[in-house]
Structure 1
Amino acid sequence: MSQDKLILNLVGLKDPHIHFEADAKTQTGLYYGHPALFINAKLLKKISRCPNCGFADCLVKDGHKTVKLKLSPQRFHLLILRLAKQRFLCKHCGSIITSQTDTVKPNCQISKNVWQSVVMDFHDNMAATLIAKQNGVSAGTVNRAYPQAAQMISNRFVRLPKHLSFDEFTSSHQNRRMRFIFQDADHHNRVVILYGRRKAFLRSYFMQYSQKERARVKTISVDLNAGYVHLIPELFPKAKIIIDRFHIIQMTQRSLNEVRLSVAKKQLHFPRKYRMIKKYWCLFDKPFDKREAKRLYYRVPLRIVTDTVALSPKFTSVYLVYQDILTAVQRHDQDLLAKTICDYRKLNCSMDTAIRSLKQNLKAVTNSLKYAYSNGPLEGVNRNIKAIGRTAYGYRNFDHYRTRIQMELFA
């Protein structure tokens, strides 16, 4: 192997027109205040025709133009290639032409290898400043690499999956807008992120698919967002709506805790009862038939629950409703869930609102126990999206944010 090929392989270059001196040596110095290694080379690339006038055999050599090209960093030093490019003078039109190399883009001093390394670092949850430091570039250069990364991903399903999951998340933009996200509920290997979640926007997006394609969708998992529930029958006529099981439990659990706190406020003059309600709040969220028998100070958990619930008839009724819903979800008992919701009587508390919402979407609620699909995987994606936003301290450009999400999680 010749010396030129050996050095080219070491620095990660492939242009055969770059030649190094016989006694080529690296020099150390500073490059914009950073320690760097400098390598001298020449670009001996012939140009047979003037690109301006088009005439051939009219070019004569006219010296060299030395440029500094930034290569991939080596350990703790930047690697700078001092490349002397051959210049030519056209005798016909008088223009000066400089030979070019494929190592860098036109009018750029950063090699393509560095750009590729920056894009590959988008797969890891790192801030732009850390990526810039590792590749020896500025944070602005990292931001300019996002369009190149966006070409490597696709933010659209060619064919709609048969089972979908809908959700939204808060972007890191200054106005904190909500963005729409949906996923293949079967394979969980891709998501599509849209700019907005309003009905008109979603309708215009999904109408891009044919009616036959939209009719292929069989189930759609959503939370208790009324906008999605009303829009799905219009766009997906054959799709079954599935209310996520987690949101069913979460909504009734919040209502239970609100009633529990209202009971606690009435026990301020009874410190022992007040502490019992406030301190052991987690016992009321658990299934009643799975109480642990170990002692907590002077009371077992079962007695704590029974004594606390007995303080208020309203709290007793709300607690029993919550336990019935929790049992129905755990056992996938559709009849028990439907009976609990339909037989509920108003108690003038927050549980009335929760049950009314479930009753209005009773078919979709019972579908959550009939089918195994849920929004759990998509909620996990939302959690990772928040982590990406926190690492970067927010994104001003939503396109960059979406590209980073796709690169880190699914590329």
Structure 2
Amino acid sequence: MTYSHIIRKTLNIKDKNIHFDPEHYILPDETLNKITYKVLEATLTYTPKACEKCGTVNQNHLVIKNGRKSSLLKLGTVMFQPVRLRLWKQRFLCKACNQTFMAKTSLVQPHCFISNPIKSHIALELQTIQSMKAIGDRVAVSPHTVMRILKTVGETLEPTRHALPEHLSFDEFKSVKEAAGAMSFIFSNSQTHDVIDIIENRQQSRLIAYFQRYPYTLRKQVRTVTIDMYSPYIAVIEQCFPNAKLIIDRFHIVQHLNRALNRLRIEVMNTHRYSRPTDYHKLKKQWKLILKNSWKVDFETFYTHRLYDGLVSQKIMINYLLSFDEQFKWVYSLINDLKYSLSVGKSTQFNHHLERSKDRQLKRYIRTTMQTLEKYSGSISNSCTYTLSNGHLEGINNKIKTMKRSGYGYRNFRNLRARILISFKLTEKQDQFIRPVTFEEERELARQNQNAA
């Protein structure tokens, strides 16, 4: 084993054509932009098989060595100190065409001084939640270099137009100020939880134009689409996915009910603010107990509580809070019946409780909540049938918020989109549902477009 091989092994250099002189491969340290680099020296040379200019095969010394040229490359860090490599590249002269060319190496791209291992490491670092300046400082490059690599890698992660999963999930998140309404659209595979693509604008017309770029045969195969209660998505699904069933995410249904119940609790609480301050504080402090599912309330365990005298249980405290207002008690029972029907997947029972809400006169916002649920009753029935949800998209959106916060926000949507696609490794997961479009399907699509025109 030679000294040059040991040095290459230490620096993780794969190219065997790079040779180190064991006696003179370390040069004095250099300082650039207040960063001290350890400088190494090596030579890149080999015998070419043919001329790169004219393609003549190298026989009888037709291609000869003709001097060399140095370039200073960045190799990353060794023992927390940045390292640069002064690489002397061999120049060759072809006697057939009388032209010269330089030796090539897999360590670095032509006309570039940042090594490929650094670029690969930056791409891996971009998957984690940290600022691009922190990544650049770690590998001794500028933030602009990290941004260029971000754009380059992001271009390779563009989704294919030849595949769509059978189950989709739609959601939105706050992206950049330049986007319309600062809200962007994201959709994923409901089963595998893989992010498919991110669209800058969530407006209905833009989404319809985007999804119509997919072949009709693929859009026709989509079986379900899970959304929240954002109504413009309904028209998008009806126009772009003719065979898809609409599913309302159960979390948003429960959230819709809890908001109405919590608003009523606040209204009842404020009526007793000055007349019964003790009860006012009970309603104010125990809001979580009111929003807790009634079938999960503990009625067996008794303990002391600072707001009550003697031993109490959760059930006793809830009954006391509900006794302040008759309508509050009735709405609490109605909403918990709706949540329980949804949790056990009984759509008929859910619709029955919605009809029961018409038996009494309710607050305007409570009535609006019930009317909204009645409007989406068909989609809620699908929610009881399927177990699909948008929970994974909510987690993805939370990670996107953390990603934006780590970089103090993004001004360019394309950079944010590329960062998100890199973070969730889109290309590694697409193969699970990629299916090529056949020639017959393309011909059928062209025929349908012609008839539509």
Q: Does TM, normalized by the shorter one, top 0.5?
A: yes
CA distance in 1: counterparts of 2:236 and 2:71, whole angstroms: 59
Aligned to 2:296: 290
Q: Which runs of 5+ in 2 are unaligned?
A: 429-453
- CA shift digits 1:200-235 (9 cap, x unpaired): 111111112233222211111111111112321222
Aligned to 2:242: 237
Is residue 2:67 matched to residue 1:39? no
Query: Conserved in 1, the CA contact under 8 Å of 2:169 and 2:188?
Result: yes
1:320 and 2:333 equivalent?
Answer: yes
1:275 aligns with 2:281: yes
Structure 1 position 70, deviation (Å): 0.9
- SS of the aligned residue for 2:88 comes to strand
SS of alignment partner, residue 249 of structure 1: helix
Say if 1:347 and 1:148 are closer, same or farther in 2 by CA, change over 3 A. Answer: same
Q: Aligned residues, how many? A: 409
Alignment correspondent of 2:5:
5
Offset, 1:236: 1.4
Pick closer, same or farther for the CA change 1:60–1:192 going to 2, 3 Å: closer
Preserved contact between residue 256 and residue 318 of structure 1 (Cα < 8 Å):
yes
Q: How far has the Cα of 1:245 moved from its partner?
A: 0.8
| Contact in 2 for aligned 1:28/1:35 (Cα 8 Å) | no
After superposition, the Cα gap between the structure-2 partners of 1:198 and 1:395, relative to the gap in structure 1 and judged at 3 Å, is: same
Counterpart CA distance in 1 for 2:91 and 2:386 is: 71
The amino acid of 2:294's aligned partner reads F
Contact residue 161 and residue 213 of structure 2 kept, 8 A: no
Structure 2 counterpart of 1:264, from 261, 269, 283:
269
- Displacement of 1:28 in angstroms is 4.5
The alpha carbon displacement at 1:58 in A equals 11
Give 1:88 deviation, angstroms.
7.4
Secondary structure of 1:84's aligned partner: strand
What letter is aligned with 2:366? M
Superposed counterparts of 1:2-401, under 5 Å: 2-32=2-32, 33-44=34-45, 64-86=68-90, 101-156=105-160, 158-173=162-177, 177-269=182-274, 270-292=276-298, 293-295=301-303, 296-297=305-306, 298=309, 299-345=312-358, 346-401=361-416
Q: Structure 2: which amino acid aligns with 1:382?
A: N
The one-character-per-residue Cα deviations of 1:33-71 (angstroms, maximum 9, x if unpaired) are 22322112234467886959x9x9999987654321111
Calculate percent identity across the aligned residue pairs. Answer: 29
TM-score normalised to the size of structure 2? Answer: 0.81
Is the Cα–Cα contact under 8 Å of residues 204 and 235 in structure 2 kept in the other structure? no
User: Could you tell me how far 1:248 is from its partner in structure 2?
Assistant: 0.7
Q: Is the 8 A contact 2:174 2:184 kept in 1?
A: yes
Taking only aligned residues, the RMSD between alpha carbons, in angstroms, comes to 3.0
Compared with structure 1, are the counterparts of its residues 22 and 290 closer, same or farther at alpha carbon in structure 2 (3 Å cutoff)?
closer
CA contact (8 A) 2:162 2:214 kept: no
Aligned in 2, Cα 1:99/1:187: closer, same or farther, shift over 3 Å? Answer: closer
TM-score (norm 1): 0.88
Amino acid at match of 1:21: D
Runs of 4+ in 1 over 4 A off after TM superposition: 45-52, 56-64, 86-102, 172-176
